[in-house]
C-alpha cells in the first residue's frame, strides 16, 4: 500500500494551466466537431474511403494524440507519469494507425477492435484516476464509464454497426479526453493559487 501512496503523492505541477486548458479545449472541440460531422454528414468520403464516414479523420486524431502521449511519456519527470502516458499513448498509436491503414477494407471489420479499444480506454481512465488519486475523479470516471458503454454498444451493434456510429463513438471518447484535460488544468490553477 505504501507504493500506491508514494505514486499518488501530489507534487507541485510546474505546468501552465492555461496551456493545459487550451490543449483540452482544442481536443474537446475536435471531438465534438467530428462527432457532429459524423452524424450530420454520414456519407462523407474522407481519404478516398467509401462507406467509412468520418472514421479516417477520427483515426488520424487518435493517432496524433497517441504520438503526443508517447512523446510526453519520454519527457515525464516522474515514473508514474511515464508509465501512464506510455501505455495510453501506445494504445492510441496502435488503434489510430490500424483505423487509418484499414480504410481500403470494410468499416464493419473494425467494430470489434474499436469496441475493445473503448472498453479498455474507459477502464484504464477509471483505474488510473482512482489509483493515482487524480483530481476531479468523478467527472473523469464518468467519461470512462461513457467510453465503456459506447464500447459495449458497438459490440452489441446497437443502435447501428455503420461507420458513422463507429466514428461518433470514437469522437465522443476524444471529447471526454479533452474534458478530462480541462478539469486537470482547472485543478492545476486551483493548486497554484493555494500555494
Backbone phi, psi, residue 76, to 5°: -70, 145
pTM of the complete model beyond 0.75: yes
6 belongs to a structural domain? no
49 belongs to a structural domain? yes
- Got the DSSP string for 44-109? --BTTBTT-TTHHHHHHHHHHHHHHHHHHHHH-SSHHHHHHHHHHHHHHHHHHHHHHHTTTS-GGG
Task: Give dist(CA 65, CA 88) in Å, integer.
Answer: 10
Instruction: Reply yes or no on whether the pLDDT at 15 is more than 80.
Output: no
Task: Give dist(CA 155, CA 165) in Å, integer.
Answer: 12
> 3-class DSSP state for residue 189?
helix
Query: Residues with Cβ < 8 Å from 67, sequence gap 6 or more?
Result: 89, 93
For residue range 113-161, what is the model confidence (pLDDT) as tens digits? 999 999 999 998 899 888 877 777 888 899 999 999 999 999 999 888 8
Domain total in the chain = 1
Between 45 and 12, where is the model more confident? 45
Average pLDDT, the chain: 87
Are the C-beta atoms of 132 and 80 separated by less than 8 Å? yes
139 belongs to a structural domain? yes
2 belongs to a structural domain? no
Domain extent, residue 101, equals 17-194
11 belongs to a structural domain? no
How confident is the model at residue 52, as a pLDDT? 86
How confident is the model at residue 195, as a pLDDT? 67
145 belongs to a structural domain? yes
Query: Residues with Cβ < 8 Å from 2, sequence gap 6 or more?
Result: none
For residue range 82-122, what is the model confidence (pLDDT) as tens digits? 888 898 899 999 999 999 998 888 888 899 999 999 999 99
71 belongs to a structural domain? yes
7 belongs to a structural domain? no
Amino acid at each position: 500500500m505504501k507504493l500506491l501512496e508514494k505514486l499518488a503523492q501530489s507534487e507541485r505541477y510546474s505546468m501552465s494551466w492555461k496551456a493545459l486548458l487550451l490543449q483540452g479545449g482544442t481536443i474537446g472541440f475536435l471531438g465534438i466537431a467530428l462527432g457532429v460531422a459524423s452524424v450530420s454528414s454520414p456519407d462523407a468520403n474522407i481519404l478516398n474511403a467509401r462507406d467509412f464516414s468520418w472514421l479516417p479523420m477520427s483515426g488520424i486524431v487518435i493517432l496524433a494524440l497517441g504520438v503526443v502521449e508517447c512523446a510526453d511519456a519520454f519527457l515525464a519527470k516522474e515514473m508514474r507519469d511515464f508509465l501512464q502516458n506510455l501505455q495510453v499513448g501506445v494504445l492510441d498509436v496502435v488503434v489510430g494507425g490500424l483505423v487509418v491503414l484499414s480504410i481500403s477494407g470494410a468499416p464493419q471489420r473494425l467494430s470489434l477492435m474499436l469496441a475493445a479499444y473503448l472498453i479498455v480506454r474507459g477502464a484504464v481512465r477509471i483505474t488510473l484516476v482512482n489509483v493515482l488519486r487524480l483530481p476531479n475523479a468523478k467527472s473523469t470516471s464518468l467519461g470512462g464509464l461513457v467510453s465503456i458503454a459506447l464500447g459495449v454498444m458497438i459490440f452489441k451493434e446497437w443502435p447501428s454497426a455503420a461507420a458513422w456510429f463507429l466514428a461518433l463513438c470514437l469522437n465522443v471518447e476524444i471529447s471526454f479526453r479533452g474534458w478530462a484535460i480541462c478539469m486537470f488544468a482547472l485543478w492545476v490553477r486551483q493548486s497554484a493559487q493555494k500555494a
